[in-house]
Structures are given as C-alpha cells and as structure tokens.
Amino acid sequence: MTTKDAGLKGYYQDRERQRAALPGDVFPDEADYKRGMVIMAHADDAEFGCSGTVAKWCAEGWEVVYVLCTDGSKGTSDRSLTSEQLAKIRRQEQISAGKVLGLKDVVFLGYPDGYLEPTLALRRDIAREIRRFKPDVVICSYPMRNLNVFWGVGHPDHIASGEAAISAIFPAARDHLTFPELLKEGFEPYKVAEAWVVGASDPDLYVDVTDYMDTSIKALMEHGSQLGGWKPEDLSERMRQWRRESAHGRGMLYAEAFKRIRFRM
C-alpha cells in the first residue's frame, strides 16, 4: 500500500513498508534536505534515469552535483570518432545538460568506459566526492544485475557504479579509519542520509516530476552523440511514457521511481 508522505511535498513512499523494515527508527526531518548527488557510470545515465527529480531538486533550491565514473569513451557506433574525441564530446554534452538542469557541478572521475569495476580505488574516489560535497541524498544505479526490469541485460558499468556508490556511502565516507589518505587530504568523515536507487524492480519512493518533464527532456537532448537512433519526438514521448507508467495509480501524471535506503538514523 502506498501512502502520501506528508513530510516531503511531491514525494510518495511506502512508509508502512519502511517502518516494517526498520522498526523503531526515528526519521530525520526530510524537509531539511537541500544537497543532492547523482553518481552514475556515464554521461547521459542521469538524464535518462532521474533528471526529472534533479530538475525538481534544483528548482526547490537544492545544490546538486553529478559524479560520473567513466569517461564515456566507448559509447558510439561512429567509426570516425576516436575514444579521445568521443570522451571530449560527451563531457561537453554533460556540462550542457547540467546547465539546463541547474547543477552546481559535474565531477568526472575518468575511469575508462566499458571496463568499470567496483574496485577499492573507485570506492575511495567516490567517497572523496561525498566527503567534499556532503550530500543529504545520493541517487545511484541498482548495484546488481536485475533481470526483472527491462534493462536487466544492461551495461556492466551501471552495476559497478551502483555497488561502488553504495559502498562509498557506507562505510567508506563515514569512517575516518577507512581510506585514511582522504583525511590527510582534508576530507572529514560524512554520513549521507539516504540513497535513492534507480532501476530496482521493487521501488518504494515515487517522485512527482510532472512539472519538470520539459526540463528533463531538454537536458537529455543535450546528449546528441547518444541519441542517434531516436527521433526527438519519439524519445520525448518514450521518456513521458516511462514516467507515466511509474506514476500510474499514485495520483501523479509523471513520476520517477526509486528504492530508498536510509543511512542516517
């Protein structure tokens, strides 16, 4: 059963289920959240997966940063492009999309596209950005191969980035003895409040993005190198259709769905 969460306007969640999973928790005042971070493998992942929510956050005055794990250097079928040229194009596309959304910053970790693994080095590099920007909420990819969703045969970089992101939140960003080099660099331990995971087959948080669909799609269209097979109007309708399906039966027109994990208790 889905109930309206009075604490966070425009966000619906299965609160009863959360309470059952975490008996006795006292939840922080979600209305105080104002810093978001989106950790994804590639330029364009966030625009496809959660840009309505990002646009909403920015419009509500949140400071939002992206952390992109790879350089995007493999995502093309155009044989005239080198990896270096492609990486440069995709970096610029992401910066342009970020301007449409109103991001504070985009961080490129620069790992080679297509070869991402949830290594300790990646976990440390993400933990550094978490300690630097101190987000209340982190959006990341589902950390396992999920055959119950239509993109279950999707990109291994997405799985790797999701696993590294969640492991960076807990415990690497939190514990001062983990990656002590971060402390030496001046990055104090930090506790993220929540992770909202994209791509779960059993989401329990629905964000009403009805007012932000146009901005979301405009940002996605900045990724020109990744839209080769789509007519703009078809892609726009597809984005709306996905979000209509998530919103169905929840009193919203368009929604983005997440699996919510609470860390700060």
Footprint of Zn ion (CB under 5 A)? 41-42, 45
Beta carbon nearer to Zn ion, 90 or 131: 90
Beta carbon nearer to Zn ion, 42 or 91: 42
CB of 45 to Zn ion, least distance (A): 4
- On whether the CB atoms of residues 254 and 244 are closer than 8 A, the answer is yes
Q: Which of 259, 260, 255, 236 is nearest to 245 (CA)?
A: 255
- On whether the CB atoms of residues 34 and 28 are closer than 8 A, the answer is no
Beta carbon nearer to Zn ion, 41 or 97: 41
- On whether the CB atoms of residues 11 and 112 are closer than 8 A, the answer is no
Distance, CA of 47 to CA of 58 (rounded, Å): 14
Distance, CA of 94 to CA of 42 (rounded, Å): 9
CB of 69 to Zn ion, least distance (A): 10
Instruction: Name 34's Cβ contacts closer than 8 Å, sequence gap at least 6.
Output: 61, 62, 63, 136
Beta carbon nearer to Zn ion, 42 or 132: 42
Beta carbon nearer to Zn ion, 13 or 141: 141
CB of 41 to Zn ion, least distance (A): 5
Supply angle C-alpha 125, 167, 107, rounded to 5: 30
AA letter at 170? F
Nearest position to Zn ion, beta carbon: 42
Beta carbon nearer to Zn ion, 23 or 229: 229
CB of 127 to Zn ion, least distance (A): 22
CB of 168 to Zn ion, least distance (A): 18
CB of 74 to Zn ion, least distance (A): 10
Q: SS3 breakdown of the chain: % helix, strand, coil, rounded to 5?
A: 40, 20, 40
Give per-residue burial for 156-170: e unless 16+ CB within 10 Å, then b: ebbbbbbbbbbbbbe
| Alpha-carbon torsion angle 33, 262, 47, 54, nearest 10 | -10
CB of 155 to Zn ion, least distance (A): 5
Beta carbon nearer to Zn ion, 176 or 238: 238
Give the number of C-alpha atoms closer than 13 A to the C-alpha of residue 250, restricted to the C-beta side.
30
Beta carbon nearer to Zn ion, 123 or 223: 223
CB of 4 to Zn ion, least distance (A): 33
